[in-house]
């Protein structure tokens, strides 16, 4: 019996084999431009395609890599603005190692990591495939960057926070100088223990230092509310750059019956320079969405962007059919 006992004991003490979970997500849309002069221009488009893997190496060590794909953006050069390539290109969105339970509810991430604010709000909004957050849309903040961050969650979600140091240029750009970005988020949810309701109240600040200029300070205050029949998210965003600044307001609501569908209602206001009049815009989105399964959804929307400029610029507007599919 001794050899059998030794074998059982060794098997019980053996470390768990690493596990890997593969995931993917696609955002796509069809859009019809109704703006003056558009001549019924319409397109089918692949907005994003994510392919990722999450590894559980030990009980306290994990890793993640996520590849993303979209069209290369227009690049500014000395001769003007142009695009190098019109094909879809693949790039790294996340690539990090994670150390869990350094203390109760505390984890550390290092590498190309998620930043503290926008990914959390995107997850709460749940309709990034329809429209990304205002801070991400206007590049006031980046969803990922190279750096290191501590994240904590306590009281079963009653209190959560994240703080980190990053390059500051975002995941898609090289480090330019000795400056760094220091970001911190604090969220309190008084309803976290109440079951199916959430009421996250969030404060966020980002201080970006520069070698030859004053720091850039980005700050956000956000209020969310979620219950089965109604979701709401309101955000105020600001950027201070010396004497200049930027401001944004975003309000979203998703009323409806989860089993059948939701109304998609959103209003954005963005002012790219608070020292200049009539240079911002207002954008409204209205439509309906339906979830066929977890990560499989469609939304039909009407979207209209109105400009404050006095040059007679007509509103840009159109109808869209958005889709996401994931596993």
- Tell me if residue 229 falls in helix, strand or coil: coil
Distance linking the first and last C-alpha atoms of the chain: 47
Could you report the per-residue pLDDT of 113-149, keeping only the tens digit for each?
999 999 999 999 999 999 999 999 999 999 999 999 9
Query: What is the CATH classification number for the domain harbouring 37?
Result: 2.40.160.10
Residue 155, sorted as left (phi over 0), alpha (psi -120 to 50) or beta, turns out to be left
Q: Is the pLDDT of residue 4 over 60?
A: no
112 inside domain: yes
Q: What is the band of 248 on the pLDDT scale with cuts at 50, 70, 90?
A: very high
Question: What is the model's pLDDT at position 182?
Answer: 97
- Rounded-to-integer distance, Cα 277 and Cα 213, Å: 25
318 inside domain: yes
Residue, of 11 and 306, whose pLDDT is higher: 306
Question: What is the model's pLDDT at position 72?
Answer: 74
By residue range, what is the domain housing residue 271? Answer: 17-326
Q: Which residues of 138-153 are buried (b: 16+ CB within 10 A; e: fewer)?
A: bebbbbbbbbebbbbb
10 inside domain: no
- Tell me if residue 1 falls in helix, strand or coil: coil
138 inside domain: yes
Question: What is the model's pLDDT at position 2?
Answer: 39
58 inside domain: yes
Q: What is the band of 78 on the pLDDT scale with cuts at 50, 70, 90?
A: low
**What residue has token string 């991400």?**
136
- Rounded-to-integer distance, Cα 269 and Cα 267, Å: 7
Percent pLDDT > 90 in the chain is: 71
Q: Is the pLDDT of residue 302 over 80?
A: yes
Question: What is the model's pLDDT at position 75?
Answer: 67
172 inside domain: yes
Number of domains forming the structure of the chain: 1
Cα distances (Å, whole numbers) of residue 105 to 99, 151, 153, 182, 281: 11, 8, 5, 22, 41
84 inside domain: yes
- pTM greater than 0.85: yes
- Rounded-to-integer distance, Cα 112 and Cα 65, Å: 9
The torsion angle over the Cα atoms of residues 46, 50, 51 and 56, rounded to 10 degrees, is: -170
88 inside domain: yes
């Amino acid at each position: 019996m001794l050899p059998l006992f030794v074998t059982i004991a060794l098997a019980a003490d053996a470390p768990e084999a690493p596990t890997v979970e593969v995931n993917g997500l696609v955002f796509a849309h069809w859009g019809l431009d109704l703006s003056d002069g558009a001549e019924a221009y319409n397109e089918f488009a692949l907005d994003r395609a994510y392919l990722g893997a999450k590894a559980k190496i030990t009980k306290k060590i994990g890793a993640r890599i996520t590849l993303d794909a979209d069209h290369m953006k227009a690049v500014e050069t000395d001769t003007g603005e142009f695009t190098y390539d019109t094909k879809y290109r693949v790039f790294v969105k996340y690539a990090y190692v994670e150390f869990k339970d350094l203390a109760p509810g505390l984890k550390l991430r290092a590498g190309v990591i998620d930043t503290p604010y926008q990914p959390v709000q995107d997850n709460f909004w749940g309709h990034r495939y329809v429209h990304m957050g205002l801070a991400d849309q206007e590049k006031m903040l980046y969803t990922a960057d190279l750096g290191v961050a501590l994240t904590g969650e306590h009281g079963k979600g009653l209190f959560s926070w994240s703080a980190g140091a990053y390059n500051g240029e975002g995941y898609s750009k090289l480090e330019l100088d000795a400056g760094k970005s220091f970001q911190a988020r604090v969220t309190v949810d008084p309803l976290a223990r109440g079951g199916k309701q959430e009421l996250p109240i969030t404060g966020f600040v980002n201080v970006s230092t520069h070698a030859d200029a004053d720091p850039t300070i980005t700050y956000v205050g956000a209020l969310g509310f979620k219950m089965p029949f109604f979701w709401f998210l309101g955000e105020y965003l600001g950027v201070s750059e010396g004497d200049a600044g930027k401001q944004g307001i975003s309000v979203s609501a998703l009323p409806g019956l989860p089993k059948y569908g939701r109304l998609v209602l959103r209003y954005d206001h963005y002012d790219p320079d608070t020292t200049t009049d009539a240079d911002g815009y207002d954008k409204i989105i209205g439509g309906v969405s339906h979830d066929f399964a977890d990560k499989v959804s469609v939304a039909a929307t009407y979207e209209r962007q109105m400009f404050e400029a006095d040059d007679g610029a007509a509103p840009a507007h159109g109808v869209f059919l958005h889709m996401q599919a994931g596993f």
